[in-house]
Amino acid sequence: MTVPQVFQQLGANNANAGGGFYSQGGQFYYIRGLGLVRNLKDIGNIVLATHNGIPTYVHDLAKVESGTPHALGSLAS
């Protein structure tokens, strides 16, 4: 699995899905799918690929943790 493929799967699994309306007894309900990641465990449980019916999760390939972002560029006075 390539890094771009991992990024694509992470993005695909962290998106809101459009929905539609459901009508019952004169009431209309709006249905939509919320796929937003809420915590680190959610990220680890994203399926990246399936081979022979066996899923490969993020946590199978990487250590999922929170940290500070690396600085990019430089600051000069």
Tens digit of pLDDT for each residue in 27-51?
887 776 677 788 889 889 999 999 9
Whole-number Å distance between alpha carbons of 48 and 44: 10
Please answer whether residues 48 and 6 qualify as being in contact, where contact means their C-beta atoms are separated by less than 8 angstroms.
Answer: yes
- The verdict on pTM exceeding 0.75 is no
**Residue owning tokens 């809101």:** 16
Confidence grade of residue 68 (pLDDT, cut at 50, 70, 90) = confident
> Concatenated DSSP letters for the chain?
--HHHHHHHHHHTT--EEEEEEEETTEEEEEEE-----SHHHHHT-EEEEETTEEEEHHHH------PPPP-S----
